[in-house]
C-alpha cells in the first residue's frame, strides 16, 4: 500500500567520480536501514532558489518502494512516500 510520509530521513549518499553521479546508497527510516537497490527514476525540480532531486527507488530486496526528495538549499532528505507493493 502506498503511503504519504513527509518525514526527514537519514541517507548515506555515494559519489562516483568516473560517472559524475551522486546517488543515495542507504536510507535510515523508523530505526531501520534500507540498502538502495535499483533507482527507477530521478529528476530535478526547482522551487524558488532550491533545487530538489527526486528519486524513486526500491530497496535491495525489492520489498519496499521509496520516493525521496533531496533539497540542495539545506541538504536535507525527505521521505515523501513509501509502498510495500500490496494493494490498499
Measured in whole angstroms, the distance separating CA 29 from the mean position of its chain's CA atoms is 11
Asked whether residue 74 is assigned to any structural domain, the reply reads: yes
Give the helix/strand (H/E) hosting 26. Answer: strand 21-29
Asked if residue 51 is part of any domain, the answer here is yes
pLDDT digits (tens, 9 = 90+) for 25-83: 999 999 999 999 999 999 999 999 999 999 999 999 999 999 999 999 999 999 999 99
What does the block give as the cell for 8?
A: 526527514
pTM for the predicted model, two decimal places = 0.90
The verdict on residue 88 lying in a domain is no
What is the domain extent for residue 26?
2-83
Residue 87 pLDDT more than 70?
no
pLDDT digit string (tens) for 14-36? 999 999 999 999 999 999 999 99
Q: How many domains does the structure of the chain reveal?
A: 1
Amino acid at each position: 500500500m502506498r503511503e504519504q510520509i513527509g518525514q526527514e530521513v537519514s541517507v548515506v549518499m555515494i559519489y562516483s567520480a568516473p560517472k559524475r553521479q551522486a546517488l543515495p546508497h542507504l536510507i535510515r527510516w523508523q530505526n531501520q536501514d534500507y540498502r538502495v537497490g535499483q533507482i527507477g527514476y530521478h529528476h530535478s525540480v526547482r522551487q524558488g532558489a532550491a533545487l530538489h532531486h527526486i528519486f524513486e527507488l526500491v530497496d535491495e530486496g525489492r520489498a519496499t518502494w521509496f520516493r525521496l526528495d533531496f533539497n540542495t538549499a539545506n541538504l536535507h532528505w525527505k521521505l515523501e512516500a513509501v509502498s510495500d507493493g500490496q494493494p490498499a
